Chain A
Amino acid sequence: MRFAGVEIEDTYAEAFKMWGARLLVTGSSPEWARAAAEAAAGFAHSVIGCGCEAGVERFLSPEETPDGRPGATVLLFASSRKDLEKQLLLRVGQAVMTCPTSACYNALAGEEELSVGGKLRYFGDGWQGSKVLEGARFWRIPVMDGEFLVEDRFGIRRSIGGGNFLILGAEARAALEAAEAAVRVMRRVPGVILPFPGGIVRSGSKVGSRYKFLSASTNTSYCPSLRPLVESALPEGTNCVYEIVADGLEEDSLRQALRDGVKAACREGVCRISAGNYGGKLGQYVFTLRDLLGGDAP
């Protein structure tokens, strides 16, 4: 199957059950809102090494936020409720609260709730106070520039992580441009984030390694420099591969993002679109590339 002249490999992306949360952070200016959001989503590229995957979902105008200040929504995904709670406490407590002028609200009506502000309040050392408004409790924690306002409870819901596809390019610049184009369209889909730097992964991994102390190592099958030396998955003429990884609050939105991304990546200089999987043994969700394109494919 080909789309816009690019070969679509008959394979699938394997994705996993995760738990997700959505924070809404605000600041006194767009710059401080951005700083708080980026801090909350910092070093959260892979659950394996970072404990969670996170990203800025979108930036918000003052009219769109609960306190009338500029803001942003951040999505956080972790493998379990316990991990998500730990990461929420760490990130809201250490990244958002420390950021000047910030406030942090729940922005997800989840199937379950976790106490976040309710635990962080103890930082107030007895001087914290709470207010209930529109059915939600907020904690006012005194800090050096005034007060940090944080919502008591945050909704969480079952989500999906690890949706992916691979862009095999004939040339590095074309592959990167195709990946950038995919990122641009995928970031427009609500409820989806691309947790890696710039939304793109260059160091895709495989399970296992020749070293006993390492559980994952570079994805040799997709390293162009190793093509004649290993069992390569790359067709002749492939000189660069980028992977796009996406997490979503809902299967449909993740599917939409992957579909949009694959379509956008099919452009000149790309020889094939593939996807990463573990033979269907690990993930609970499957996104078949050809099904993604469905009736759109010529």
Chain B
Amino acid sequence: MKVLRPRCAFDVPVEAECLVPERLAEMTTEALLRLPLAYGRFSVPLGELFEVEADGAADAAVVLEGDFSRVKRIGENMAGGSLEIRGNAGMHLGAGMSGGTIRVLGDVDAWAGAMMSGGCIEITGNAGPSLAGAYPGETRGMRGGMVLVRGDTGLRAGERLRRGLVVVGGCTGDFPGLGMLAGTLVAFGTLGIRAGAGSKRGTLVALGGVRGEMLPTYREACVYRPVFLDRLLRFLEREGFSVTAEHRSGRFRRWVGDANELGKGEILVHEKDLQ
């Protein structure tokens, strides 16, 4: 295992796409300290910005301790191993990752898990905008894997989600599931306004209701209890989300849309008063 700690507070962002567990596992501490990082407009060796502690084991486990909120692209395109960040993390955390696990004991900035295709990101705090989203010009956002956020998320969570599971323990910002293609986004709190706008398929689950009015291009189908949610909630309970007795026994109002698109998407809104 390797542990990295910032030597100072960063004035400008650090681009740290090299902080990928499987890549670091093969490196000696000396080689790691020489890795070039973009610090503002300068290229500096990693050792100038971070102190490194290694136990000599060649496992793909990396721990980042301290404030990494100005460190971007941590775990970008990672394919395996584990990364734990004991503090806040910057933008593009785990973007494009295809495997392995990232655990953040803090908040993360925008674009976490953007266009990822596998693996799992767990965030104990809040996530910024465009969680599991799609970069401008891309037709698909997250394509697989799982993102678990214990707190709230910013705007446009799960934009153009193609496959995979995004779970938000709190509330989402506005426009969740924008242009969604498939996959599942669950919010234990409320879904922001214009949920599922432009979605073709996929599922938005609002356990805490929806802020504002449902889009007129969504039509109410029925009130029922999809068995799939029983299966999903049981899994989320094991993952440590607070699934209540109300969640376990309640019914869900199914809205289908977006009629401007294919119209096979759904928003399942928990009906608190209907057991």
Closest chain A CB from B204 CB (angstroms): 13
Partner of B264, one of A66, A69, A129, A145: A129
Q: Contacts of A103 on B, CB cut-off 8 Å?
A: 227, 230-231
| Residues A134 and B235 in contact, CB atoms below 8 Å apart | yes
| Interface residue total, chain B, C-beta cutoff 8 A | 19
Q: Contacts of B227 on A, CB cut-off 8 Å?
A: 26, 67, 69, 101, 103, 146-149
| Residues B165 and A146 in contact, CB atoms below 8 Å apart | no
| Residues A133 and B264 in contact, CB atoms below 8 Å apart | no
- Bound state CA distance, A129 and B254, in angstroms? 14
| Residues A146 and B224 in contact, CB atoms below 8 Å apart | yes
* B23 located at the interface, meaning its Cβ lies under 8 Å from any Cβ of chain A in the complex: no
* B201 located at the interface, meaning its Cβ lies under 8 Å from any Cβ of chain A in the complex: yes
Closest chain B CB from A192 CB (angstroms): 28
Interface string of B221-261 (1 = CB under 8 A from A): 00011111011111100000000000010000000000000
Closest chain A CB from B265 CB (angstroms): 10
Residues 232 to 274 of chain A near chain B (Cβ within 8 Å): none
| Residues A68 and B233 in contact, CB atoms below 8 Å apart | yes
Q: Contacts of B234 on A, CB cut-off 8 Å?
A: 66-68
Q: Contacts of B225 on A, CB cut-off 8 Å?
A: 146
**Given A68-B248, A133-B165, A133-B235, A147 and B230 contact (CB-CB distance below 8 Å):** no
Q: Contacts of A146 on B, CB cut-off 8 Å?
A: 224-227
Least CB separation from A134: chain B residue: B235
Least CB separation from B230: chain A residue: A67
Interface string of B194-210 (1 = CB under 8 A from A): 00000001010000000
* A138 located at the interface, meaning its Cβ lies under 8 Å from any Cβ of chain B in the complex: yes
- Bound state CA distance, A237 and B225, in angstroms? 61
| Residues A149 and B231 in contact, CB atoms below 8 Å apart | yes
Q: Contacts of B165 on A, CB cut-off 8 Å?
A: 132-133
Give the number of A-B contacts (CB < 8 Å): 51
Residues 101 to 135 of chain A near chain B (Cβ within 8 Å): 101, 103, 127, 129, 131-134
**Given A146-B225, A147-B227, A129 and B201 contact (CB-CB distance below 8 Å):** yes
| Residues B226 and A67 in contact, CB atoms below 8 Å apart | no
Closest chain B CB from A142 CB (angstroms): 10
Least CB separation from B243: chain A residue: A68
A interface, by DSSP: helix, strand, loop or mixed? Answer: strand
Closest chain B CB from A62 CB (angstroms): 9
Least CB separation from A65: chain B residue: B234
* A140 located at the interface, meaning its Cβ lies under 8 Å from any Cβ of chain B in the complex: yes
- Bound state CA distance, A101 and B224, in angstroms? 11
- Bound state CA distance, A146 and B201, in angstroms? 18
* B172 located at the interface, meaning its Cβ lies under 8 Å from any Cβ of chain A in the complex: no
Interface string of B159-172 (1 = CB under 8 A from A): 00001110000000
- Bound state CA distance, A68 and B231, in angstroms? 7
Partner of A138, one of B231, B248, B264: B231
- Bound state CA distance, A149 and B165, in angstroms? 18
Interface-centre pick from B201, B226, B227, B228 (highest chain A CB count, 10 A): B227
* B184 located at the interface, meaning its Cβ lies under 8 Å from any Cβ of chain A in the complex: yes
**Given A129-B201, A131-B203, A69 and B226 contact (CB-CB distance below 8 Å):** no
Partner of A66, one of B184, B224, B231, B248: B231
Q: Contacts of B226 on A, CB cut-off 8 Å?
A: 140, 146-147, 149
- Bound state CA distance, A129 and B168, in angstroms? 22
- Bound state CA distance, A147 and B222, in angstroms? 12
Q: Contacts of A68 on B, CB cut-off 8 Å?
A: 230, 233-234, 248
Q: Contacts of B235 on A, CB cut-off 8 Å?
A: 133-134
Interface string of A144-177 (1 = CB under 8 A from B): 0111110000000000000000000000000000
Q: Contacts of A133 on B, CB cut-off 8 Å?
A: 165, 231-232, 235
Interface string of A68-108 (1 = CB under 8 A from B): 11000000000000000000000000000000010100000
Least CB separation from B266: chain A residue: A129
7 tightest A-B contacts by CB? A67-B230, A149-B227, A67-B231, A146-B224, A103-B227, A68-B234, A149-B228
Other A-B pairs beyond A129-B203, A131-B203, A148-B227, 8, CB < 8 Å: A66-B231, A129-B264, A131-B228, A131-B232, A132-B164, A133-B232, A140-B226, A146-B227
Residues of chain B at the chain A interface (Cβ within 8 Å)? 163-165, 184, 201, 203, 224-228, 230-235, 248, 264
A sample of 8 cross-chain residue pairs with beta-carbon separation below 8 angstroms, ordered by A number, consists of A67-B227, A67-B231, A68-B234, A69-B227, A101-B227, A131-B228, A133-B232, A147-B228
